[in-house]
Structure 1
Amino acid sequence: MKRISAILITGASSGLGAGLAKNYAAPGVYLVLTARDAVRLEATAMACRALGATVVTGLFDVREAEPFGTWLIERDLERPLDLVIAAAGVSAGTGEGDRPEGIELAAMQVQANLLGTIHTVEPLLPRMIARKAGHVAVIASTAALRGLPYSPAYSASKAGIRAYGEGLRALLGPQGVMVTVVVPGFFDTPMTDRWKGPTPFMLSLDKMVAAVRKGLDARRARIIVPRLLALGSQAADLMPAAIGDRIMRGFRFRIEPGR
């Protein structure tokens, strides 16, 4: 198997993105890391450099397609990327009294999560296809498997990422480009800290990072962790809608406001 030496990770200032950056960091590894928070991104970069990696950073909001896309192509021209991990993401939920999220909050999640993933991947695909090589990983969620009533826009954004990744994989496989769809459940991150409610089968960040890294190294088409939580969501989706809706309403939570 070809050694992975040049890796792009978005959302590298915290959570899964930062965890994967540190996990991949080693002598001979070239990391391209992006995020919106300069201080936290530099902390990740410093930790990766201490592990021997060469690190390039960029401060970007993945919702802004043009400047971000231009910068990504420049990085790939300098050193062709072997692996692209689109890990940037945000979350929000309904208001007090189960009020809908509203246009601004709902659109923000779709733009950052779904469009942000597309803005990360699409500029690099022509170059990967020309090389007949490359690996793309998109980060969905178990929320993509059955919409959650208290975070419908987040669920929609992650369902879009899942469908986008599945479609890309079928399209690009014959052209030499691998696509992995990652479907994580709950794991310990600042985003999860804002979740007030049950967190079944929750994993530590280290265990989630290790599971994702193992799946990416094996070039798996899907990485679903933990499987039991995903099976529960899929089962609710297969039930008659009225029964599934009742079950999902009982899984009550709220997400505290964040950035």
Structure 2
Amino acid sequence: MARSDTLAPRSVLITGASGGIGAALARAYAGPGCMLVLQGRDQQRLAAVAEACAARGARVLTKVLDLRDRVALVAWLQSVSHAEPLDLVIVNAGVNTSIGADGAGESWAAVEELIAVNVLAAMATVDAVLPAMRARGSGQLALISSLAAYYGLPVTPSYCASKAALKAYGEALRGWLAREGVRVSVVMPGYVESQMCRQMPGPKPFLWSAERASQRIRRGLLRNRARISFPFPLALGTWFLAVLPPTLSERILALLGYRG
């Protein structure tokens, strides 16, 4: 029987759970009777998150894994899916790169790594866990995109491209899987406090804490929202950038300090 939309998930897998939004989401879902499966690259930080979640009563399994190794990633995800049904899979792991403070441009090595993690590993994660969800007719996928998916920022071209790809992918999945009982939501945060956010160039208006963002995401997923975007002023502004004439959008971004 499919789990009701109104019930909180009891088994949650989160990629990129060692910092920022991923760690905050892990803590938000942690509680008695909940199993958390947490993946990260930083063993020390991942262990600290797991310890905090266990202290809240959750059963926690961790996996230190570089998501660029997609063979190992898929093998691990299939093993987890076969061992225990996953109610919710949050595809959160991501990296960033930029043109640099002097506008020199992105290195190709950094771009390849970004696409490998933000796009290929994300899609591989979905592909690995989806068969089990479809077979039982229940489950939920959350793809962490970004408001940067609406309009490419001159300072982070590849990051914006990767998040736009994830947005389109998630929207297509939702339409495809709706009749099979598998729910899909695309999460589009603005600036959320994290190490990756601090390293991003350009202004960071309406900065949220990771804890605040995690609570908004959790509520949106419980309600099966197709798109969970925040904060509202920035979401509205980035949406307008996508619908305005490009020359006007370019001028607005330049005035705001997003310059190449």
TM-score by length of 2: 0.94
Name the CA distance, whole Å, in 2 between partners of 1:37 and 1:218: 32
User: Which residue of 2 is the match for residue 9 of structure 1?
Assistant: 14
**Partner secondary structure for residue 183 of structure 1:** strand
- Answer with 2-11 or 154-163: which moved more: 2-11
User: Which residue of 2 is the match for residue 62 of structure 1?
Assistant: 67
* Structural RMSD (CA): 1.4
| Conserved? CA contact 2:25–2:211, under 8 Å | no
User: Which residue of 2 is the match for residue 33 of structure 1?
Assistant: 38
* Percent of paired sites with the same residue: 42
Q: Which of 233, 241, 256 is the aligned partner of 1:236? A: 241
User: Which residue of 1 is the match for residue 116 of structure 2?
Assistant: 111
Name the CA distance, whole Å, in 1 between partners of 2:95 and 2:8: 31
2:187 equivalent to 1:182: yes
Equivalent pairs counted in the alignment come to: 254
Shift of 1:243: 1.7
User: Which residue of 2 is the match for residue 217 of structure 1?
Assistant: 222
Name the CA distance, whole Å, in 1 between partners of 2:124 and 2:114: 14
Deviation per CA, 1:50-107, whole angstroms, max 9, x where unpaired?
Answer: 1110011111122221111111111111111000001101111002432221322222
User: Which residue of 2 is the match for residue 74 of structure 1?
Assistant: 79
Name the CA distance, whole Å, in 1 between partners of 2:234 and 2:24: 22
- Unpaired segments of 5 or more residues in structure 2? 1-5
- Answer with 121-130 or 230-239: which moved more: 230-239
User: Which residue of 2 is the match for residue 94 of structure 1?
Assistant: 99
**Partner secondary structure for residue 102 of structure 2:** helix
Name the CA distance, whole Å, in 1 between partners of 2:92 and 2:174: 17
User: Which residue of 2 is the match for residue 249 of structure 1?
Assistant: 254
Q: Which of 137, 143, 157 is the aligned partner of 2:142? A: 137
User: Matches of residues 161-180 of structure 1 in structure 2 within 5 Å?
Assistant: 161-180=166-185
The 4+ residue runs of structure 1 with deviation greater than 6 A are none
**Partner secondary structure for residue 131 of structure 2:** helix
TM-score by length of 1: 0.94
Q: Which of 47, 51, 56 is the aligned partner of 1:51? A: 56
Shift of 1:251: 3.4
Counterpart amino acid of 2:139?
G
Counterpart amino acid of 1:151?
T
Counterpart amino acid of 1:106?
V
